[in-house]
Amino acid sequence: MTATSAPGQGAEYAATASEAYRAALRVIESVEPRIADATRKELADQRDSLKLIASENYASPAVLLTMGTWFSDKYAEGTVGHRFYAACQNVDTVEALAAEHARELFGAQYAYAQPHSGIDANLVAYWAILATRVEAPGLAELGAKHVNDLSEADWESLRAKMGNQRLLGMSLDTGGHLTHGFRPNISGKMFHQRQYGTDPTTGFLDYDAVAAAGREFKPLVLVAGYSAYPRRVNFAKMREIADEVGAVLMVDMAHFAGLVAGKVFTGDEDPVPHAQVVTTTTHKSLRGPRGGLVLATEEFAPAVDKGCPMVLGGPLSHVMAAKAVALAEARQPEFRTYAQAVADNARALADGFIKRDAGLVTGGTDNHLVLLDVTSFGLTGRQAESALLDAGIVTNRNAIPADPNGAWYTSGIRFGSPALTTRGFGADEFDRVADLVVEVLENTQPAAGPNGPSKAKYTIADGVAARVHAAAAELLEANPLYPGLTL
């Protein structure tokens, strides 16, 4: 199953999708031709690039087309059967189907399909945990000032009135996310926060250290999950730690939801049976539209159901419809084959780097992403990212543990296998990708800026970018994006 077709569909599906897109673009062109041109160019650019960003993928035409309907015109605050606007019966059908598919796909007691993004899903989850477990008379104070106008003293007062609640999450530089308690983020202001990291020698998650931090800090919320940690997590152990210290285990599986849905992660590595609250995006490895979900046990369901108006604005009914379509696709047997290929291909990419003596954080991967330490090439992540882009390889720079270059320039590059796996790449192609990446980095040198050494400027040896771009084009031509789709 590729992004171009739903299970059991092929050339006829692609021809129908082509007709739909050509008609849609003609309608758009009649109003604002520059948008139609940009849309065509975006498809061309995506077709011509090796997309290795771990948080990106390609949704099917069915998912994409679902978002372009009159469901976009509806306001539907509230929940299924209990809306604050009239004439929402069809939105009720859409939201109920999205939640049903999510519950069945992940084996969850409850699913909430309204969050607009993964960050929104995390905010809904945090407020639901607070509302369920904490008496919070200070919450009303948020309405007294705009959130951006609250001083640190205001936040301190609010946290105290909320019972001085605490959150323990994975640090940003060891693979966590901004919303896992990073102080500048709203999650780091809502809670007294502390971060856990990884073993400084191996880069692996140290469960004993997490447990020790939990016993000392006694958080209300223990957040597990990651955005740049290339290994699996034992969620049964994380639940044991949470239970021992009286915390709620919340798992953010936005990056690896597709591996959970595809049954690559099972047992102790499947967060849903172990966490009270699970959040995710619906794009990334799940291959749906940009949006979020919250899964929860029955204890937290009533509070999560109040995500709108507690945190969210009106639900995006057209996106919920697309979520339902994507989740229906993910329930097909072909998706399990895809998910296993995602993990296998990430391992092939990692092995390709290792045999070419490129340093990897943790020495490899067993999920969908690979984190390359580019300091051995004498580069910053910013320089490496830019040089690779010049050669037609789309990646993103990422911090590594104890990163000497900080979160902006970084010392790492994060690679992901979901998108190219959707295009049909296999182990041999990913090994070739590793070869092309190393060729670019070995032939890139830092360059001086106007005031001395620069962490951003670089030079590539003559001819390398063009040569790699041409080699990448051969791989892409053999594995076309949306084959049969013509505009």
Angle at 402 between CA 253 and CA 457, to 5 degrees: 100
- Kindly name the residue from 133, 166, 284, 287 that is annotated as catalytic: 284
Q: Which of 159, 166, 290, 382 is catalytic?
A: 290
Of 29, 56, 77, 334, the catalytic one is: 77
The three-point CA angle 368-369-370 to 5° equals 140
- Catalytic member of 173, 252, 373, 403: 252
Strands 277-281 and 221-225 come out as unpaired
Question: Does 284 participate in catalysis according to the annotation?
Answer: yes
Tokens of 344: 């296998």
Write the secondary structure of 149-163 as one string of H (helix), E (strand) and C (coil). Answer: HCCHHHHHHHHHHCC
Concatenated DSSP letters of 335-367: HHHHHHHHHHHHHHHHHHHHTTT--BGGGS-SS
Q: Residue 252 catalytic?
A: yes
308-322 burial: b if 16+ Cβ within 10 Å, else e: beebbebbbbbbbbb
Q: Is 260 in contact with 233 (CB distance < 8 Å)? A: no
Residue 258 contacts residue 282 (beta carbons within 8 Å): no
* Residue from 174, 281, 365, 444 carrying the catalytic annotation: 281
Q: What is the CA radius of gyration of the chain?
A: 23
Active-site position among 29, 56, 75, 141: 75
Q: Is 45 a catalytic residue?
A: no
The CA distance from 115 to 118, in Å, is 7
Which strand (E) or helix (H) includes residue 324? helix 317-330
Catalytic residues: 75, 77, 252, 281, 284, 290
